[in-house]
Amino acid sequence: MAVGTPAHLPDTTHLGRVRLRVRDLDRSLEFYEGLLGMARRERSTNRAVLSSRGDGPELVVLEADPAAADRPRRTTGLYHFALLYPDRASLAAAFLQLARHDWPFQGFADHLVSEAIYLADPDGNGIELYADRPRLEWRRVGQDLAMDTLPLDLDSLVAELGAERDGPFRGMAPGTVLGHVHLHVSDLSAAEAFYSGVLGFEVTVRGYPGALFFAAGGYHHHVGTNIWAGRGAPRPPERAVGLLDFSIHTTRPAAAAAAERAQRAGWTVRETEGAWCVTGLDGVEVRLVPAQ
């Protein structure tokens, strides 16, 4: 592993894919393919790999375990994973598709830096669908990016579609990516020590109640953490539905340096499939994937 490389992740750092445990693969695919419009890259008996288009990079990996336990509410782990759409119109199309099929929404928000729609998959895994506002419109309050949770103007969002509002759903927009992952954690200081001190993300927002946000390259957040499940919240059962891991794509020197810092800090690190897999805070696995 590289020694002496910068502690901060390069500006090109981004997330890759999220891997989830679900109970019923066919039921999950009806949601992810049939409603969200994802494209299937591969499928086996208990595993499916999905992308925004058939030949696109991995976006969501589903692994089925029919005996998986429920994830108790006040536990650490996934709060939501967030799919970043390329523009407002594609987010509006996703909203109308879900609404027409009466899929339940959990919330809508204008976060100043982005506009977001919240829901969950059939196993209760939280999902955010969002589109960013242009970076030139992002504001700062002191050292923090200005973020808030305000009502979302759905009429304005749907108006982006114009005459296409009544047209057929064309599937997930090409270019949709995993924008961020937001986690329930047991302790915010420990979250900062791991996601900033070890992995190398910068803290972007400290002022949001009960939460810390981290990013590379000036983004609003690649990782969100909160203690809304309670300080010291326990981990979920080992075979519960939910997050298995998520991947961070960065340069090889930066990935190697982060893996080395993790190992020195006492976290479990293993090399697998050309990446470093770190079992980090609250048992969440993070894959450090070097750019090819």
In what helix (H) or strand (E) does residue 287 lie, and over which residues does it extend? strand 285-290
- Between β-strands 268-272 and 275-279, what pairing exists: parallel, antiparallel or unpaired? antiparallel
Segment 160-193, tens digit of pLDDT: 999 889 889 999 999 999 999 999 999 999 999 9
What residue spans define the domains of the chain? 14-290
Q: Are 194 and 209 in contact (CB under 8 A)?
A: no
CATH number assigned to the domain with residue range 14-290, chosen from the 4 options 3.30.1490.190, 3.10.180.10, 3.40.50.970, 3.40.50.720 = 3.10.180.10
Instruction: Encode pLDDT of 211-250 as tens digits.
Output: 999 999 999 999 999 999 999 999 999 999 999 999 999 9
Tell me the pLDDT tens digit for each residue of 7-57: 789 999 999 999 999 999 999 999 999 999 999 999 999 999 999 987 889
| Mean pLDDT, residues 94-104 | 97
With b for 16 or more beta-carbon neighbours within 10 A and e for fewer, the 201-237 pattern comes to bbbbbeebeebbbbbbeebbbbbbbbbebeeebeebe
Q: Specify the pLDDT at position 291.
A: 87
Q: Give backbone dihedrals phi and psi of 222, rounded to 5 degrees, phi first.
A: -95, -30
Averaged pLDDT, 258-287: 96
User: What global pTM score does this model have?
Assistant: 0.95
The answer to which of 143-152, 160-169, 267-276 has the lowest mean pLDDT is 160-169
Grade residue 292 by pLDDT with cuts at 50, 70 and 90.
low
Q: Which residues contact 117 (CB under 8 A, 6 or more apart)?
A: 91, 94, 95, 98, 105, 107, 108, 128, 129, 130, 152
pLDDT higher than 70, residue 2:
no
- Nearest Cα neighbor of 133 from 153, 119, 118 is 153
